[in-house]
A and B are shown apart, each in its own frame.
Chain A
Amino acid sequence: MEDVLTENPPPSRFFQEDLNNFVPPPESLPSPFIIFSNPKPELPLRPSLLIIAVSSPSLYVFHNLPSKTLLGSLIMPEVPFSGNTMEPSLEDKSCNIYSLSSTDDKNSILLVSVQLPVSPERSHIVSRLLIGQDIIPERVIILDSIQSRNFRGKLSPDETLAAKLETSSEKKATSCVNLDYFPSGSVIDGLSASLLSRCQLRNIRGTLVISWPEFGPSVVRFVGALLKNIVPSLDIASVNKDLDKYSSKTGLKKDAWLDSDLYT
């Protein structure tokens, strides 16, 4: 049991180097970019809905959705391809962009599976690539997990929770994401925060759904049901099929876990 007297409060403090003007700037990295499959679609893509999976449960759901077509991939030059497979796999360090083939308009709904580590420092440039340049969506839904380090409340490992944050334009419209708002005082950082900020700045309807726990069958079922509610034509039967084998730590099947950097 956690010791309530010595449990660390949520971090809101700085390291000395965070407050030092004379820390040298980092070496600049080459810009990330998107490559599209052949034939290259007409750009910019203008989906009615762009759904971006950042959390492990949502990546699992996306991976197991049938009837999706690989449209392209976002490449971050600093992330090595070693260990990636030819066919998309949950183990890959990749950021694939799919269209949902089940809809009448081929590129009306796009899915993005963010399976590579995007640092907070690189989030700004990645979110600009995904929203507002080659892809200009009417509406965006981002799926991430509640970060316990930034949450100023109690999180039980046994209880599935979810909340949302949305842009002003989404708030004015009729939302189909029927969740309570994320409590004030807690924050979300990282790529999903950058993506939602980008929507707000571009006046795009955007919703960030954050769920808890970070792994586990219950939250996978929740995400599947949420997506089915948003896109009724979505086939989530295969998502729930092997759910009991869903690893609690990696979102992969338990007996298929690999550290790709060690074994290539």
Chain B
Amino acid sequence: MEFVVEEGKRVSEECSTLILPALSIGNVGQLAVDLLVSSTGAERIGYLDDPNLLPCVGNDAYGPLPCGEIALPLEVYESFSIATTLAQQRSPVAKGMMIKFAENIAEFAASSGKKHVVVLSSLDFQRLHNLDMSRGPQVYYLSNVESDGRDDHCERLGFGRLHEYDSEGRCWKYLSSVFDENNKEELTFPSEDELEDIDYYPSLPFAALFSAFKAKGLVVTCLLCYCSEGDNIPDAFLLAEAASKLTGLSPDKFRGEEGGKWRIPYSWKSMYGAPPDMSMF
């Protein structure tokens, strides 16, 4: 993975927190990062070029008007006012290459001096076993602060610990080992036929990223929410809000619309395709 700094820009050493999405159902992590970039006025400072990422290009996603600035598959933004780096991923990873991709991006984070990484992801609502609607939409977390995934800071913020995390589970152990540079043991790739329901969580991209960043000695927190495919904008707001609370971003750091906190990215205007052809009516 090569990091290419945009002409005239520089990397800030003060930005020790990295927020990035994991590919997940409803693209929620990516939508949440879109919101954070758009609302904090973060500027693009460079690109990450990885052979495991499928190609895509587009026009500027944030606006206020699309000005023809090219958008690439994996871009790095920084906001000095919030001392945070945001990476936005716009295209999928090639099938079967997620582990390699996670390894590469963890190497980038470590070599660029990041201390804390926040991974935003969603989970399939059909996998949620204990539904408690009394507390409203719930954000879950997984952290490497303690070995069981717990983090007091997240607990105080009201996030629910991901109880399905089992560091001794077969697939979680496999992920830990595969990113461990010192591991000499021959690893057996879990076969798709052998996977059980409990293996759903470690099979997801967020788990690969979590394990890769952990192996680099970085503090990593995954913020998760359950959702279904559909209108996932509310889920994006939920995760973006959680990320801003976790990283201590105060409301005055945001440049929302009409004095509010959030600014909707320009590209969201066409998220669900063109409007219907009214001439039929």
Instruction: For B98, list chain A residues within 8 Å (CB).
Output: 20-21, 23
B63 and chain A: residue at smallest CB distance:
A184
A124 and chain B: residue at smallest CB distance:
B51
Closest Cβ–Cβ distance, residue A233 to chain B (whole Å): 29
Contact status B23-A193, CB under 8 Å: no
B280 and chain A: residue at smallest CB distance:
A4
Interface-central residue, A153, A165, A185, by most chain B CB under 10 Å:
A185
Interface-central residue, B63, B69, B93, by most chain A CB under 10 Å:
B69
Asked whether any CB of chain B lies closer than 8 Å to the CB of A232, the reply is no
A200 interface neighbour in B60, B72, B266, B268, Cβ under 8 Å = B72
Q: Mark B155-186, 1 if CB is under 8 A from A, else 0.
A: 00000000000000001000100000000000
Contact status A183-B59, CB under 8 Å: yes
A10 and chain B: residue at smallest CB distance:
B273
Contact status B51-A125, CB under 8 Å: yes
Contact status A190-B4, CB under 8 Å: no
Q: Mark B27-40, 1 if CB is under 8 A from A, else 0.
A: 10000000000000
Asked whether any CB of chain A lies closer than 8 Å to the CB of B41, the reply is no
Contact status A14-B92, CB under 8 Å: yes
Asked whether any CB of chain B lies closer than 8 Å to the CB of A12, the reply is yes
Q: A21-B202, A21-B205, A166-B68 are in contact. Are A185 and B268 (CB under 8 A)?
A: yes
Closest Cβ–Cβ distance, residue B234 to chain A (whole Å): 17
Closest Cβ–Cβ distance, residue A86 to chain B (whole Å): 33
Asked whether any CB of chain A lies closer than 8 Å to the CB of B99, the reply is yes
Interchain CA distance A194-B49 in the complex, whole Å: 10
Asked whether any CB of chain B lies closer than 8 Å to the CB of A158, the reply is no
Instruction: For A208, list chain B residues within 8 Å (CB).
Output: 57
Closest Cβ–Cβ distance, residue B114 to chain A (whole Å): 22
Asked whether any CB of chain B lies closer than 8 Å to the CB of A13, the reply is yes
Interchain CA distance A203-B60 in the complex, whole Å: 18
Q: Mark A197-234, 1 if CB is under 8 A from B, else 0.
A: 10011010000100000000000000000000000000
Q: Say which one of B105-113, B146-154, B189-197 lies at the interface with A.
A: B189-197
Closest Cβ–Cβ distance, residue B181 to chain A (whole Å): 19
A167 interface neighbour in B26, B70, B90, B208, Cβ under 8 Å = B70
Interface-central residue, A13, A121, A194, A197, by most chain B CB under 10 Å:
A197
Asked whether any CB of chain A lies closer than 8 Å to the CB of B128, the reply is no
Q: How many residues of A contact B (CB 8 A)?
A: 51
Closest Cβ–Cβ distance, residue A55 to chain B (whole Å): 15
Q: Mark A1-33, 1 if CB is under 8 A from B, else 0.
A: 100110001101110011111111110000000
B66 interface neighbour in A24, A121, A152, A181, Cβ under 8 Å = A181
Asked whether any CB of chain A lies closer than 8 Å to the CB of B269, the reply is yes
Contact status B59-A196, CB under 8 Å: no
Asked whether any CB of chain A lies closer than 8 Å to the CB of B91, the reply is yes
Closest Cβ–Cβ distance, residue A224 to chain B (whole Å): 25
A188 and chain B: residue at smallest CB distance:
B57
Closest Cβ–Cβ distance, residue A4 to chain B (whole Å): 4
Q: A153-B270, A203-B7 are in contact. Are A171 and B68 (CB under 8 A)?
A: yes
Closest Cβ–Cβ distance, residue B169 to chain A (whole Å): 13
Contact status B95-A18, CB under 8 Å: yes
Interchain CA distance A1-B277 in the complex, whole Å: 11
Contact status A9-B73, CB under 8 Å: no
Contact status A168-B55, CB under 8 Å: no
Asked whether any CB of chain A lies closer than 8 Å to the CB of B260, the reply is no
Asked whether any CB of chain A lies closer than 8 Å to the CB of B97, the reply is yes
Closest Cβ–Cβ distance, residue B79 to chain A (whole Å): 20
Asked whether any CB of chain B lies closer than 8 Å to the CB of A187, the reply is yes
Interface-central residue, A5, A14, A22, A193, by most chain B CB under 10 Å:
A22
Instruction: For A167, list chain B residues within 8 Å (CB).
Output: 70
17 examples of A-B residue contacts, CB within 8 angstroms: A1-B280, A4-B277, A5-B276, A17-B95, A19-B203, A21-B208, A22-B192, A153-B270, A181-B59, A183-B59, A184-B58, A184-B60, A184-B63, A187-B56, A187-B90, A201-B4, A208-B57
B interface with A by C-beta (< 8 Å): 2, 4, 6-7, 23-27, 47, 49, 51, 53-61, 63, 66-70, 72-73, 90-100, 171, 175, 189-192, 195, 199, 202-205, 207-208, 229, 266-274, 276-277, 280
Q: Which 3 residue pairs of A and B lie closest in terms of their CB atoms, listed nearest first? A: A184-B66, A185-B270, A194-B55
A interface with B by C-beta (< 8 Å): 1, 4-5, 9-10, 12-14, 17-26, 120-121, 123-125, 127, 152-154, 165-168, 171, 181-191, 193-194, 196-197, 200-201, 203, 208
